Chains A and B, each alone.
Chain A
Amino acid sequence: MSKKSTANAEKTAGASVNAASPAQAPVNAALSREDKIELHRKMVRIRRFEERSLRAYQSKKIGGFLHLYIGQEAVAVGSCSLMGPNDHVITAYRDHGHAIAVGMDTKPLMAELYGKATGSSKGKGGSMHYFDPSRNFWGGHGIVGGQIPLGVGLAYGIKYKGLKGAAMAFMGDGAVNQGAVHEAYNLASLWKLPVVFVIENNGYSMGTSQARSSAGELAKRAEGYDMPWGQCNGHDLYEVRAMMDKFLTLAREKSQPSTVEIDTYRYRGHSVADPDNTYRSKQEVEDYRRTKDPIQVFQNQLVEEGVLDEALIEKIDAEARAEADTAIEFAEVSPFPTTEDIQKDVYWESDHPSERKSQGRLFFD
């Protein structure tokens, strides 16, 4: 694999989770049997939703790009499962997992991929632009690294309003080389804003490996901004939760920003338009899938714990497949937006004509 291995805690100043016992970390020990089943179910639901969306894409039901999260599910599910009422999430374009993880209904999510009026953004955003402010989910952003200053702004808003909360600003490993990310790091640390920058390191910025794109350890760059940082494995949901809990607590309690690099992997190409035959081997994908699949790993843990058995595993999977099919049916029968809808949701004022204060033309032809 041309990806650099993440450094361990012995060699760096960064924090790591004691690999022997992430399941025993207090935040995980506190989970009920039902909680654990729900975490597993969420990952399975994401997986089945995306597999189903891929088939729809291949049937030309979905346009544009489709960046699948398959293989990375434990990162979004683990992190978002820690959210309290004043915690917020923002991410990049590989956003299906986060959307489902924060609790969005899969029917409008699938309808959005179909470009339907019943979609989560009324068919105006597409795959890369899922949003749900009612669940503190602020997208879904298409430009690499461009969402990270917004994430710092969420943290600024939390702090300005005197709330106890944290923002999680997710990015891929490619984003760490964007200037906006570094500007955001500086502002967050300078002003002690409650944000956790989460690098989901899947090893490839599109088709360019980490070794070919980034100097040094990714998370360690936080040191230059006087921020604490940590690294953990992303295939182990317990480990993700243990690490993220530590840094979310630091943000909420002490308004201390940090960077967490989570080692993960995507099974599919950068987007489904990526033939995935130029920069990595099939063997590499297969090896990860066989040994580190996040759903399988957690499932095994829960079987060992006596939480899951074959029957329940089957049931959860069948329900997730059925849910994905239901989402497809919903998307299929939903109407497309009309051409009149094109100019709606552009301005708050044009959407609220009775409250409009400005005059003159807002739209041109």
Chain B
Amino acid sequence: MPLITYREAVRHALAEELERDKNVVVLGEEVAQFNGAYKVTEGLLAKFGPDRIVDTPISEAGFIGMGIGASMLGVRPVMELMFWSFYSVAFDQILNNAANVRYMSGGQINCPIVIRGPANGGTNVGATHSHTPENVLANHPGVKVVVPSTAYDAKGLLKSAIRDNDPVFYLENTMLYGEKGEVPTEEYVIPLGKADVKRAGTDLTIVTYGRCVHHSLAAAAVLEKEHDISVEVVDLRSIRPLDIDTVLASVAKTHRVLIVEEQKPFCSVGSQLAYMIQREAFDELDGPIHRLSTVDAPAIYSPPVEAEQLPNPQRVIKAALEAMG
């Protein structure tokens, strides 16, 4: 299988879906002429033209709201947020309109919109540009939330997201755009809501997603080699819908759990996971559920310190050893 980057995988998914369905349009800041702020959409304008690949003004509430309205008429907009951090200026559109319009209309309206873009820290851009809002988004019934960690997952999940009839929020990671992975040339899709065991193990389950999958896999290798601890890494891939069954199956095997997330701890995705695991697998647990999150403060600028504020392999190793008691 060819090795392509995460960035290319997202681009290929967009191109294939643009090719497949003429109702699909890509809109966002700098997606067309500039070829994408992170070059995800590079070349799409040349291939699909200005009616399908559309540069928007810096006007998130306006263009996201416009996409929602267009989706109600059957257009399938894929909207790029240059950073998911900018969701806050479009919050009303995303979480009042897209999330609620089906419900408030008694099921008369579909909103098949995808909003995608990077949501991560680690790039020394300070607190305003480093938000990870998957917990905030997933708190709203009516929406779906996806956070791919690899090129393979990125492509297959985005294709599913674009074909989905509900609003799907797809959170990428600028730190992963250059990561290469094997991606088949033939078409495939990955259903939303299906977790993936990225590494099998018997002593400790790490439940994670996004970039923290990579930290966890790096930590697992060290834990195996230096501490003789066999770690299973479960990549959620999708936050809502949530494949809790794969998590519970792993817990039944290892009996110990560490949640690793690039989230602020209070009411995080991990908080929800911990609740569900203790509720549904209490008897399987040999110890309390542990969690490693981002250190609870706004994202610090200082480059070497930001690396320590976020989960990283060393912090995962330390947390894993604590979880093993």
Complex CA–CA separation, A120 to B66 (angstroms): 25
Are the CB atoms of B105 and A360 closer together than 8 Å?
no
A335 within 8 A of B: no
Interface flags, B47-67, vs A, CB<8A=1, else 0: 000010000110101111111
Are the CB atoms of A358 and B160 closer together than 8 Å?
yes
Give, as a whole number of angstroms, the nearest-CB distance from B52 to chain A: 9
Are the CB atoms of A360 and B106 closer together than 8 Å?
no
Query: Given A124-B103, A153-B67, A153-B71, is A357 in contact with B108 using a C-beta cutoff of 8 Å?
Result: no
Segment touching A, from B10-18, B163-171, B227-235, B316-324? B163-171
A217 within 8 A of B: no
Query: Given A138-B109, A346-B102, is A152 in contact with B72 using a C-beta cutoff of 8 Å?
Result: no
Are the CB atoms of B241 and A362 closer together than 8 Å?
yes
- B residues less than 8 Å from A362 (CB atoms): 193, 240-241
Interface centre among A150, A152, A360 (most CB of B within 10 A): A360
Complex CA–CA separation, A284 to B215 (angstroms): 69
A184 within 8 A of B: yes
B178 within 8 A of A: no
A266 within 8 A of B: no
Partner of B73 from A124, A149, A154 at Cβ < 8 Å: A154
Segment touching B, from A61-69, A127-135, A313-321, A325-333? A127-135
Q: Which of A58-83 contact B (CB under 8 A)?
A: none
Closest to B279 in A: A365
Are the CB atoms of B66 and A348 closer together than 8 Å?
no
Interface flags, B92-113, vs A, CB<8A=1, else 0: 1100110001111111111010
Closest to B237 in A: A360
Interface flags, A35-55, vs B, CB<8A=1, else 0: 000000000000000000000
- B residues less than 8 Å from A364 (CB atoms): 242, 272, 276
Complex CA–CA separation, A359 to B106 (angstroms): 24
Complex CA–CA separation, A149 to B69 (angstroms): 7
A158 within 8 A of B: yes
Q: Which of B221-259 contact A (CB under 8 A)?
A: 238, 240-245
Are the CB atoms of A348 and B69 closer together than 8 Å?
no
Interface flags, B281-323, vs A, CB<8A=1, else 0: 0000000000000000000000000000000000000000000
A90 within 8 A of B: yes
Closest to A154 in B: B69
Give, as a whole number of angstroms, the nearest-CB distance from B143 to chain A: 9
Partner of A139 from B92, B105, B107, B166 at Cβ < 8 Å: B105
- B residues less than 8 Å from A179 (CB atoms): 61
Q: Which of A94-146 contact B (CB under 8 A)?
A: 119-125, 129, 131-133, 138-143, 146
Are the CB atoms of A156 and B75 closer together than 8 Å?
yes
Complex CA–CA separation, A142 to B100 (angstroms): 11
- A residues less than 8 Å from B106 (CB atoms): 119-125, 131, 345
Complex CA–CA separation, A151 to B62 (angstroms): 10
Q: Is the interface of B mostly helix, strand, loop or mixed?
A: mixed
Complex CA–CA separation, A186 to B60 (angstroms): 12
Partner of B109 from A131, A180, A358 at Cβ < 8 Å: A131
| Chain A interface residue bracket vs B | 35 or more
Q: Which of B65-101 contact A (CB under 8 A)?
A: 65-75, 92-93, 96-97, 101
Are the CB atoms of A143 and B92 closer together than 8 Å?
yes
Complex CA–CA separation, A150 to B73 (angstroms): 10
- A residues less than 8 Å from B105 (CB atoms): 121, 124-125, 129, 131, 133, 139-140, 345
Closest to B69 in A: A153
Complex CA–CA separation, A136 to B165 (angstroms): 19
Are the CB atoms of B65 and A184 closer together than 8 Å?
yes
Complex CA–CA separation, A352 to B110 (angstroms): 12
Interface centre among B67, B74, B244 (most CB of A within 10 A): B67
A308 within 8 A of B: no
Closest to A125 in B: B104
Complex CA–CA separation, A148 to B65 (angstroms): 8
Closest to A140 in B: B104
Complex CA–CA separation, A161 to B242 (angstroms): 35
Closest to B59 in A: A183
Are the CB atoms of B97 and A361 closer together than 8 Å?
no
Are the CB atoms of B241 and A160 closer together than 8 Å?
no
A253 within 8 A of B: no
Interface centre among B51, B62, B74, B165 (most CB of A within 10 A): B62
Closest to A167 in B: B69
A349 within 8 A of B: yes
Are the CB atoms of A358 and B59 closer together than 8 Å?
no
Give, as a whole number of angstroms, the nearest-CB distance from B57 to chain A: 6
Complex CA–CA separation, A186 to B62 (angstroms): 9
Closest to B62 in A: A183
A250 within 8 A of B: no
Complex CA–CA separation, A149 to B276 (angstroms): 38
Give, as a whole number of angstroms, the nearest-CB distance from A337 to chain B: 9
Complex CA–CA separation, A162 to B192 (angstroms): 33
Complex CA–CA separation, A276 to B108 (angstroms): 35
Are the CB atoms of B164 and A357 closer together than 8 Å?
yes
B131 within 8 A of A: no
Are the CB atoms of B69 and A349 closer together than 8 Å?
no
Query: Given A149-B93, A153-B71, A358-B241, is A133 in contact with B109 using a C-beta cutoff of 8 Å?
Result: yes
Q: List 12 A-B contacts (CB under 8 A).
A: A122-B107, A124-B106, A131-B108, A149-B63, A153-B69, A156-B66, A157-B74, A186-B57, A187-B57, A348-B110, A357-B160, A359-B191
Q: A358-B238, A360-B245 are in contact. List 18 more A-B contacts (CB 8 A).
A: A121-B108, A122-B107, A124-B103, A131-B108, A131-B109, A149-B93, A150-B97, A151-B69, A153-B71, A160-B75, A180-B65, A183-B59, A347-B144, A358-B160, A358-B191, A358-B192, A361-B241, A362-B241
Binding site for B on A (CB under 8 A): 88, 90, 119-125, 129, 131-133, 138-143, 146-158, 160-161, 179-180, 183-184, 186-187, 190, 343-349, 351-352, 357-364
